[in-house]
A and B are shown apart, each in its own frame.
Chain A
Amino acid sequence: MQGLIRTAVILGPLTASAGALLLYLWPIGESPPSEFPRGDALSGAYLARASGCVSCHTNFEAEGATLAGGAPLDTPFGVFVPPNITPHPEAGIGRWTIQDFAKAVRQGISPDGYPYFPVFTYSFYATFSDQQIADLWEAFRTVPAVAKRAPEHDVGLPFSFRSGLKLWRAGYLDTPQTDALMGTSGAWNRGRQLVEGPAHCAACHTGRTLAGGLKDSETFAGNDNLPGGNKAPSIRADDLTRKGWTAGNLAYALKLGILPSGDAFGGSMAEVVTYGTSFLTDADRTAIATYLLDPEGTGTATEPVSGAVPVASTVDHSSMDMAQN
């Protein structure tokens, strides 16, 4: 009996340590290209805005400096603070090479080789081209350097063991489907590229498993458990159509945050518009709407239900009854 206990007491932690060591040593990622094309800062700035870099890494509410660190995100795994990614050599990413940058953005791996917490939506940026990385790089270089680091994440064990994320990546890391389809329109293809890629709509609008991975079977079906207690409604084509959305009024809502009912988006979606989609071109917003209303690319977006007027679904109108007022 004593022998058994002794074995368990010694063997248990030994196995765990061996496992941790294996995870630590498990190599991940690919080498980025040794050369990148010449970047265009204006294209990069547009992409940075569309990808949510600016809105996440800047604390607008606290009137923080651009990319100097974002508002904390309260998740079931801990509180994460988007770090300072200004060109400051100590507090930011000033010492990074473009290869480091490419690996971080497209693969979610730090220059030290650690995986980033998936609260950083890097999986949606995996299909960025070398040109896009170069453009982002040039845009980031124009941002004034800020000497203050953002606060550290508040994450406890076991989630703070970074190498454990390699298991998560093996299970949940998928390449986004951003490719153009031959039989679809230019707008649809652009919409697909944006929605499945930089705009990362699924990050909020798709449900998550206990481990925090996206549930593939529930793509765009909505998520009631967002950080900060927010809820994201379904943006599936049939649900959008049923609520009276068209490509026109959805693009308009992404521009101005105002719904056809006259109401305004609330909570997180208002922020998405204010700090994100309002900066896109009309064509890009229409593209996003076109894709969402027909994600299979059948070319036939169904007619909206007549009489249905989209209302702000972040407000529980079932009890408030404002729509019938």
Chain B
Amino acid sequence: MAVSDLLQAGRIASFGRTLGPRRASHSKLQMPNKQTTNGTNRQMKRLTGSIAFAVATAATVAMAHNGAKGVVLERMNGMTAIRDLMRELSPMMQGAVPYDPIQVSEAGFVIASHAGETMRKLFPTGSLEGVTYAKPNIWAEWDEFSTLADELRVNAQALSQAAPTGLEPVVAAISGTQPVEMIMATTQGPDRSQQIAALMGYAAPRIVEVAPAMTTARPATSRPAVAEIGAGKIFERITGTCSACHSRFRKGRS
């Protein structure tokens, strides 16, 4: 049954009801049946039918995010997009599915496009209307939030660049640009006292992560070539950024 038929049968009201609380505005859609020819009448029905359909679609999408609209809806969609990409990347990073460098590269590019300034713009001051999982301290701690947004962009771009060389870091062939991991390896692994310091939490920020799989919300103290870190490690930095931001700035179940 076409929407225009539903309209003709005067059933538009019930169509709106099946969607739930959000209703299309009927007053604009019910055109008075003036002295028109059959052809114009049909055209008019099609037009109103299309409008009704568009309104219904928008209503459905908005309802899917419980009535969120505007910038809140936009950023929910952005976060969902990042989430879906992370879902694709995770099994590759665990080695559970074959590594696809093109997919990883594209995912990194898209995630980066959602981060940084793009993300900042989606959080104008005090934008807490309706259902949102943002916490008010985003604006009280804007510097921290902003740094995390930038960190995500940098790491996602790095992932995109490192993707072609694979999960593991590449050893630099040119002398003088030895990756720090290599240097540490030649001196029999990370120092014991550094490991203790990292575990107890009083280690100074180092270029090489001694123990944890997660990063803290501080930018890297230096940026060795991304290929020398490897896509796997960069992915871990991204997850660290996600967690750091979510734990601080995203509400749990209310």
Partner of B247, one of A265, A309, A316: A265
B200 touches A49 (CB 8 A): yes
B240 sits at the interface (CB 8 A): yes
A321 touches B66 (CB 8 A): yes
A58 — which chain B residues lie within 8 A by C-beta?
A: 201
B243 touches A273 (CB 8 A): yes
B246 — which chain A residues lie within 8 A by C-beta?
A: 257, 264-267, 270
Known contacts A42-B196, A230-B252; decide if A273 and B66 are in contact (CB<8 Å).
no
Of A95-103, A111-119, A139-147, A177-185, which stretch is located at the interface? A139-147
A193 sits at the interface (CB 8 A): no
A54 — which chain B residues lie within 8 A by C-beta?
A: 199-201
A264 touches B211 (CB 8 A): no
Of B78-86, B155-163, B165-173, which stretch is located at the interface? B78-86
A255 touches B213 (CB 8 A): yes
Known contacts A265-B243, A266-B247, A267-B247; decide if A278 and B212 are in contact (CB<8 Å).
yes
A258 sits at the interface (CB 8 A): yes
Min CB gap A133→B, angstroms: 16
Query: Nearest chain-B residue to A47 (Cβ)?
Result: B199
B147 — which chain A residues lie within 8 A by C-beta?
A: none
B223 sits at the interface (CB 8 A): no
B239 — which chain A residues lie within 8 A by C-beta?
A: 256-258, 264
CA distance A144 to B243 in the complex (A): 28
- List which B213-254 residues lie within 8 A (CB) of chain A: 213-214, 216, 236, 239-240, 242-244, 246-248, 250-254
Query: Nearest chain-B residue to A278 (Cβ)?
Result: B214
B200 touches A279 (CB 8 A): no
Which has the most chain B C-beta neighbours within 10 Å: A60, A266, A271?
A266
A48 sits at the interface (CB 8 A): yes
Min CB gap B61→A, angstroms: 9
CA distance A230 to B197 in the complex (A): 30
CA distance A309 to B213 in the complex (A): 23
A262 sits at the interface (CB 8 A): yes
B118 sits at the interface (CB 8 A): no
B197 — which chain A residues lie within 8 A by C-beta?
A: 142
Min CB gap B64→A, angstroms: 5
A321 — which chain B residues lie within 8 A by C-beta?
A: 63-66
B252 — which chain A residues lie within 8 A by C-beta?
A: 229-231, 266-268, 314-315
B193 — which chain A residues lie within 8 A by C-beta?
A: 142
Given contacts A142-B200, A143-B200, A268-B252, 16 further A-B contacts (CB under 8 A): A45-B196, A48-B199, A48-B200, A54-B199, A248-B94, A256-B213, A256-B243, A257-B242, A257-B246, A263-B83, A270-B244, A314-B253, A315-B133, A315-B251, A316-B253, A319-B131
> Can you list 10 contacts pairing A with B, beta carbon distance less than 8 Å?
A58-B201, A66-B201, A256-B214, A265-B246, A266-B250, A267-B252, A271-B247, A273-B214, A315-B251, A320-B76
Closest 3 CB pairs of A and B: A262-B87, A270-B247, A262-B86
